[in-house]
Amino acid sequence: MSHGSTPVPLSTRASGPFSGTLRVPGDKSISHRALMFGALAIGRTTVKGLLESEDVLATADAMRAVGAVIEKQDDGTYTVDGIGLGSLLEPEGVIDFGNAGTGVRLTMGIFGSHDIAATFVGDASLSGRPMGRVLNPLREMGTSVIAREGDRLPASIRGAKHPTPLTYRVPMASAQVKSAVLLAGLNAPGTTTVIEPIPTRDHTEKMLQGFGADLDVSVNEAGERVITLQGQPELKPQDLDVPGDPSSAGFPIVAALIVPGSDITIENVLLNEHRTGLITTLIEMGGDIEILNRRDASGEEVGDIHVRHSQLKGITVPAERAPSMIDEYPVLAVAAAFARGDTFMPGLDELRVKESDRLAAVARGLEANGIPCVETKDTLTVTGGANSIGGGTVVTHLDHRIAMSFLILGMASEKPVTVDDGAVIATSFPTFTKLFTDMGASFENHPSEAA
């Protein structure tokens, strides 16, 4: 359920074949950062193709609360009139981030080195997620924190008046933690260094460079990425065009692979190397996927993805690939249900702390629909090719990607698949049902069951 809204059970049944050309909404990671960095620049940033989902709109409200003016213009472009690094105003009232982990963790980083107080709240999902991974390095930089037990939300912080720049080795593969430290470092005097043993998505680094920060990336002798940032730059406003979200594209990609006769092209999708693990994996599984028209757009690689229905085969997905497809395992598990043999996915410990315990949520959802799987502490094995898939109801646990993944399952199953709450999809992909309905999918809504 999205924060404060009523759960709406939703089902899909066998649909398609899917054909034609489509686009998915703007990238969520880039959309959050566009609003944040625009707020920290002095002058007007413009953002075309912003993802208008609940998560991103919560970030817009948080940036407004500290003084940025963010407006949607008649042509759909967002303008962000930044207040400037070091000049944030103290927000009145609490900052409600709903379901948005990226929003709250990166914002804590920004506020953590400003001399302001702020209180953060979220929905039941976000309130259960660990914030210590961000609050601990911020404490080292001088931020005061009062949080619920286990460093959960609600949490109040008082940013450091004189923040200390830090050298920080990120203890888990997390772009959010890396980004929170770098963003706190923006308003600290001197050099902040983040060492990243396992590379994760690099939008913060690339976009901060684009906004004019003095940020350098190198690789040390141990093969770790080392990011150095000189504090207190004057950030310059940018004109941004947000490409399609590869994580959202994962849903039509898998739908086309598993629904017989399908042949689709998804245009203008971000192809950043830290985001394309799902495509690599599906190609290794025998998926007929071609990247067309690769091009550069504002410093990021984008392209069109052509996908045709394919008989997939089970593989072992390398554990080191996990950071480049961390949000795509639920939909990969759905693809694996239609593959010949076993698909083994190791290195999934971070899935336990996403919008839900995604490893458990996926395993229970597969079992509810007759798909054999084995879950361990940090691995999942899915056995494909079961007879008579579907017929189950999946508990989404306020997790948009669990809802969408199992709705895709229903599009290729013998029996319909129901998710207990379709409203959660608005977190990241509010046009999901429209996009698939336009392609010929059939959704069934069960509002009466929600009462």
Most distant CA pair in the chain, distance: 63
- How far apart are CB 418 and ligand S3P at their closest, in Å? 25
Q: Token digits for 76? A: 């759909």
φ, ψ dihedrals at 304, nearest 5°: -105, 140
Tokens 């290794």, residue? Answer: 284
Read off the DSSP letter of residue 375: E
Which of 350, 399, 420, 421 is in the footprint of ligand S3P by CB under 6 A? 350
Stretch that binds ligand S3P, among 171-179, 219-227, 337-345, 410-418 (CB under 6 A): 171-179
Q: Does 31 bind ligand S3P (CB under 6 A)?
A: no
Q: Which is nearer to ligand S3P, 38 or 410 (CB)?
A: 38
- How far apart are CB 39 and ligand S3P at their closest, in Å? 16
- The residues, ordered by sequence, that sit 6+ positions from 217 with a Cβ below 8 Å of its Cβ are 202, 205, 225, 226, 227
3-state secondary structure of 435: helix
- How far apart are CB 80 and ligand S3P at their closest, in Å? 18
Stretch that binds ligand S3P, among 174-182, 248-256, 308-316, 385-393 (CB under 6 A): 174-182
Q: Does 176 bind ligand S3P (CB under 6 A)?
A: yes
Q: Does 326 bind ligand S3P (CB under 6 A)?
A: yes
DSSP symbols for 379-423? -EEEE---SS----EE--TT-HHHHHHHHHHHHTSSS-EEES-SG
Q: Which is nearer to ligand S3P, 42 or 353 (CB)?
A: 353
- How far apart are CB 326 and ligand S3P at their closest, in Å? 5
Q: Which is nearer to ligand S3P, 174 or 192 (CB)?
A: 174
- How far apart are CB 263 and ligand S3P at their closest, in Å? 29
How many other C-beta atoms can be found within 10 angstroms of the C-beta atom of residue 284? 15
Question: Active-site residue numbers?
Answer: 327
Q: Which is nearer to ligand S3P, 304 or 355 (CB)?
A: 355
Half-sphere exposure of 294 (CA within 13 A, CB side): 6
Stretch that binds ligand S3P, among 12-20, 175-183, 286-294, 364-372 (CB under 6 A): 175-183
Q: Which is nearer to ligand S3P, 40 or 371 (CB)?
A: 40
Which of 15, 53, 143, 174 is in the footprint of ligand S3P by CB under 6 A? 174
3-state secondary structure of 218: strand
Q: Does 427 bind ligand S3P (CB under 6 A)?
A: no
CA 382 to CA 395: how far, in whole Å? 19
Stretch that binds ligand S3P, among 168-176, 235-243, 338-346, 374-382 (CB under 6 A): 168-176
Q: Which is nearer to ligand S3P, 134 or 411 (CB)?
A: 134
- # residues near ligand S3P by CB under 6 A: 10
Q: Which is nearer to ligand S3P, 78 or 443 (CB)?
A: 78
Ranges within 92-151 binding ligand S3P (CB under 6 A): 102
Say if residues 58 and 93 touch (Cβ distance below 8 Å).
no
Residue whose C-alpha is closest to residue 180's, from 109, 116, 228, 113 = 109
Residue whose C-alpha is closest to residue 342's, from 316, 371, 318, 311 = 316
- The residues, ordered by sequence, that sit 6+ positions from 187 with a Cβ below 8 Å of its Cβ are 85, 86, 110, 113, 114, 163, 231, 232
Q: Does 327 bind ligand S3P (CB under 6 A)?
A: yes
Q: What angle do CA 267, 101, 347 make, to 5 degrees?
A: 80
Ranges within 201-220 binding ligand S3P (CB under 6 A): 201
- How far apart are CB 410 and ligand S3P at their closest, in Å? 24
CA 38 to CA 210: how far, in whole Å? 11
- How far apart are CB 29 and ligand S3P at their closest, in Å? 3
Q: Does 179 bind ligand S3P (CB under 6 A)?
A: yes
Per CB under 6 A, residues contacting ligand S3P are 29, 102, 174-176, 179, 201, 326-327, 350
